[in-house]
Amino acid sequence: MIKKFALMAGALALVGCQSSPYSDAVEFNLLGSWHIEQVKDRPVIDYSPAKLVFEEGNKLLGNNSCNNFFGSFELQGNQLLLTPSGTTRKACVDALMDQEARVADALPRVRKLDEAEGKLRLFDSEGKVLLILSRL
């Protein structure tokens, strides 16, 4: 009986120590500039200025390929919400405008993040990768 109890207690202790890639205890250092490398399943155009800038006070700035935008972000553990609230409206070549539309569509859908191998991956609520970023 004592052996059974000890085995069960040990197993429970091991299960309690497991971690997931989306652990709430993880602290992410988002502040600074991040180059957008991939939007959904497509890489960005070479030399594209697409980037996200996370500033103190939960300010979000960036360039979504052609136009600049601003807004805010909320980070709690691995949960991330991006709220773009304004943008410039200049016209660019069609390829950049298409890429910009994909970035603009992806930003408000971000719900989670994970950092691995120097890349920041932003996911939607279903766990699908929306954006892959690298620090500038």
The answer to whether residue 98 scores a pLDDT higher than 70 is yes
In angstroms, the CA 111 to CA 97 distance is 24
Q: Is the pLDDT of residue 127 over 60?
A: yes
Around 44, how many Cα atoms within 13 Å sit in the side-chain half-sphere? 26
What's the pLDDT at 24? 43
14: pLDDT confidence band, cut at 50, 70 and 90? very low
**Domain-located, residue 4:** no
pLDDT band of residue 27 (cuts 50, 70, 90) is: confident
The proportion of the chain whose per-residue pLDDT surpasses 70, expressed as a percent, equals 81
Q: Which domain holds residue 51?
A: 27-135
In a domain, 114, yes or no: yes
The answer on pLDDT for 126 being more than 70 is yes
**11 inside domain:** no
pLDDT number for residue 2: 54
The reply to whether 22 falls in a domain is no
Residue 40 lies in a domain: yes
Is the pLDDT score of 23 beyond 70? Answer: no
pLDDT band at 19 (very low <50, low <70, confident <90, very high): very low
Answer whether residue 125 is part of any domain.
yes
pTM over 0.85: no
Q: Is there a domain that residue 129 lies in? A: yes
List, as one string, the DSSP characters of 71-116: EEEEEETTEEEEEEEEE------HHHHHHHHHHHHHGGG--EEEEE
3-state secondary structure of 54: strand
What total of structural domains would you count in the chain?
A: 1
Amino acid, single-letter form, for residue 86: G
Q: Tell whether 86 is covered by a domain.
A: yes
104: CATH: 2.40.128.270
